[in-house]
C-alpha cells in the first residue's frame, strides 16, 4: 500500500471511529479501570484528588464488618426472585390474552405499557402518595384491612410496596416482547393442534411456550438484571427505609459514597456489584448459546 493510501485509511478510521472512541474511553473505559485502583484506597468526595492506598482494608471491612451491605444483598436477591416471577407470569398471561382477537386489544396494550415510559423517580413519588394517602382512603371506605396497613412503614410491607410498583412498571414492557413472539407462532400449527383435540392450555403449554423460548429467555434476563440493579424506585419510594430495611444493593453503594462520603469504600462495593451483575450476564449468554446448539 502506498503511503498516501495508508494515510487516507488512517484519517478515515479516525473520522469514523475517533469521536465515539474518545467519548466511550473517557466516560466508561477509563473510569471503570480506575475503579480497580480506587477500590484499594481511602478516598472521599471532599477532595477528589487525594486518594490514599490502604490495600485490602476496604475489602476486609466489607467482608468482615458490614452487615448492612450483606443485608442489602439479601434484600436484592429476594426482591429479584419475587419480581422476576410475578412480572413474567403477569406479562405472559397478558401477552396471551392480548394476542387474541379482543375488540379493545390495542387500547389495552397501550394502557399496560404506559407506566413504562415514566421514569422510576416520578413513579416512586406517585406511589408514595397512593400507599400513604390513597390506600388510607380506600381502607376507610371499604374497611378492608389490606388497605389499612402502614404500607411504607414496616420492612415487610415496604418490600411488597416496591414489588408492586416494579411489576406495575415492567409488566407492560415484557408483555410487548411476549406478544411479538406469540404472534410469530405459525397459525397452522395451533389450528392443527386444535383439530387434534388439544385444549387451549395444552396448546399453550406444549406448543406456544416451547416455540417462544428465546423471548422467555430475553424477558427473564431483562427483568433479572433490572430488578438486581433497581435504584431510582428505591430512592423515591422508600429511601431504603424504614431504617435501612428496604435498601437495594445499588442504593447501599449510593448511600455509602454520597451520604457517608466514603468514595473508596463505595467503589470497592461497586466493583463487587459489577462482578455479580456480570455473573448474571454470563449465565444468559451461556444459556442462549447452549440453546442455539440444541436447536
Partner 1 sequence: MSKAVLAERRSKKLLIVEAIAIVLALLFLAPFYFVLVNSVKALGEIMVDAASFPKKYLFSNYSDVWEIIRFPNVLYHSFLITGLSVLGLILLSSMTAYRIVRRPTIFNKTLFFCFIASMTIPFQSVMLQLVRVTSTLELRGNLLGIVVCYLGFGLALSVVLFHGFIKGVPLEIEEAAVVDGCSPYGVFWRIVFPLLKPITVTVVILNTLWIWNDYLLPVLIIGSNKDLTTIPLAVTRFFGQYTKQWDLALAGLAMSVTPIIVLFLLLQKHIVEGITSGSIKG
Per rule CB under 8 A, is residue 73 in the interface with partner 1?
no
Spell out, one character per residue from 194 to 223, where the chain touches partner 1: x when CB under 8 A holds, - when not.
Answer: --------------------xx--x---x-
Q: How far is CA 196 from CA 84, 185, 190, 199, in A?
A: 34, 18, 10, 9
Binding residue for partner 1 (CB under 8 A) from 28, 56, 146, 192? 28
* Closer residue to partner 1, CB minimum distance, 45 or 186: 45
Of the candidates 128, 133, 147, the one whose C-alpha atom is nearest the C-alpha of residue 246 is: 128
Stretch that binds partner 1, among 61-69, 78-86, 203-211, 259-267 (CB under 8 A): 259-267
Per rule CB under 8 A, is residue 38 in the interface with partner 1?
yes
Cα(54)–Cα(267) distance, rounded to whole angstroms?
13
| Residue burial 148-177, b: 16+ Cβ < 10 Å; e: rest | ebebbeeeebbbebbbbbbbbbbbbbbbbb
Per rule CB under 8 A, is residue 232 in the interface with partner 1?
yes
Q: What residues numbered 118-157 form the site for partner 1, per CB under 8 A? A: 118-122, 125-127, 129-130, 133-134, 136-138, 141
Binding residue for partner 1 (CB under 8 A) from 102, 146, 209, 287? 102
Per rule CB under 8 A, is residue 103 in the interface with partner 1?
yes
Stretch that binds partner 1, among 62-70, 73-81, 150-158, 175-183 (CB under 8 A): 175-183
Per rule CB under 8 A, is residue 71 in the interface with partner 1?
no
Binding residue for partner 1 (CB under 8 A) from 3, 46, 117, 195? 117
Stretch that binds partner 1, among 52-60, 185-193, 204-212, 263-271 (CB under 8 A): 263-271
Binding residue for partner 1 (CB under 8 A) from 84, 177, 212, 237? 177
Closest separation in Å from C-beta 97 to partner 1:
5
Stretch that binds partner 1, among 55-63, 76-84, 150-158, 174-182 (CB under 8 A): 174-182
Per rule CB under 8 A, is residue 53 in the interface with partner 1?
no
Stretch that binds partner 1, among 55-63, 67-75, 93-101, 152-160 (CB under 8 A): 93-101
Amino acid at each position: 500500500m502506498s503511503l498516501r493510501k495508508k494515510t487516507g485509511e488512517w484519517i478515515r478510521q479516525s473520522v469514523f471511529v475517533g469521536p465515539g472512541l474518545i467519548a466511550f474511553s473517557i466516560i466508561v473505559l477509563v473510569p471503570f479501570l480506575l475503579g480497580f485502583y480506587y477500590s484499594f484506597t481511602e478516598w472521599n468526595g471532599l477532595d477528589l484528588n487525594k486518594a490514599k492506598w490502604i490495600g485490602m482494608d476496604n475489602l476486609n471491612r466489607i467482608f468482615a464488618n458490614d452487615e448492612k451491605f450483606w443485608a442489602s444483598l439479601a434484600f436484592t436477591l429476594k426482591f429479584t426472585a419475587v419480581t422476576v416471577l410475578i412480572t413474567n407470569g403477569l406479562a405472559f398471561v397478558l401477552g396471551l390474552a392480548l394476542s387474541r382477537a379482543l375488540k379493545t386489544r390495542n387500547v389495552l396494550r397501550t394502557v399496560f405499557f404506559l407506566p413504562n415510559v415514566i421514569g422510576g423517580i416520578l413513579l416512586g413519588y406517585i406511589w408514595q402518595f397512593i400507599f400513604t394517602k390513597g390506600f388510607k382512603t380506600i381502607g376507610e371506605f371499604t374497611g378492608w384491612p389490606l388497605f389499612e396497613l402502614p404500607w411504607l412503614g414496616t420492612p415487610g410491607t415496604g418490600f411488597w410496596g416496591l414489588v408492586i410498583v416494579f411489576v406495575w412498571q415492567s409488566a407492560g414492557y415484557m408483555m410487548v416482547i411476549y406478544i411479538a413472539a406469540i404472534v410469530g407462532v405459525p397459525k397452522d400449527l395451533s389450528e392443527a393442534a386444535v383439530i387434534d383435540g388439544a385444549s387451549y392450555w395444552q396448546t399453550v403449554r406444549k406448543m406456544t411456550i416451547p416455540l417462544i423460548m428465546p423471548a422467555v429467555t430475553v424477558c427473564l434476563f431483562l427483568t433479572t438484571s433490572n430488578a438486581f440493579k433497581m435504584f431510582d424506585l428505591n430512592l423515591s419510594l422508600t429511601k431504603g427505609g424504614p431504617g435501612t430495611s428496604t435498601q437495594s444493593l445499588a442504593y447501599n453503594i449510593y448511600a455509602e459514597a454520597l451520604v457517608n462520603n466514603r468514595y473508596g469504600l463505595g467503589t470497592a462495593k461497586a466493583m463487587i456489584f459489577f462482578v455479580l451483575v456480570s455473573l448474571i450476564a454470563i449465565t444468559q449468554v451461556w444459556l442462549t448459546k447452549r440453546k442455539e446448539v440444541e436447536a
